[in-house]
Amino acid sequence: MDATYLVECFWPGVTSDRVEAANTRARAESAALRRQGSSLRFLGSMVIPSDEVVFFQFMAASREEVVRASRQAELPFDRVAAFQWLKPSRGAASQRRTRVR
């Protein structure tokens, strides 16, 4: 089963153009690895310009696939970590509204 990974990059002087170029390389590398049998998918990126941080998001069967793709795409990454996106449940939203009143 595939997991979702964030590739975290501390990137001094990061610009939108540089991230777009990195996105293009990550997309191309993901496609090349899929042709070789990998399940790796590049999902996009998030930039926090004020912190000079970029997060690239991938879906893959293993962390190693993401590390390999990130190196081959020349992403200036510091770490790769699996993550889970948790949406608030209806009950949690109702409880928050009740507490705020």
**Six token digits for residue 89:** 């449940």
- Whole-model pTM: value is 0.83
The reported pLDDT for the residue numbered 55 is 98
Please list, in sequence order, all residues whose beta carbon lies within 8 angstroms of the beta carbon of residue 9, skipping any fewer than 6 positions away: 53, 54, 55, 56, 75, 76, 77, 78
What's the pLDDT score for residue 21?
Answer: 97
User: Which position has the token pair 């042709």?
Assistant: 35
Which is it for strands 79-83 and 3-10: parallel, antiparallel or unpaired? antiparallel
Contacts of 73 (CB under 8 A, 6+ apart): 22, 25, 26, 28, 29
pLDDT means per 10 residues, the chain with 101 residues, are 94 95 97 94 96 97 96 96 89 54 44
Structural domain range at position 14: 3-100
Nearest to 42 by CA among 88, 78, 73, 77: 73
- The total domain count for the chain is 1
What pLDDT was estimated at residue 89? Answer: 84
Looking up residue 93, the CATH number of its domain turns out to be 3.30.70.3090
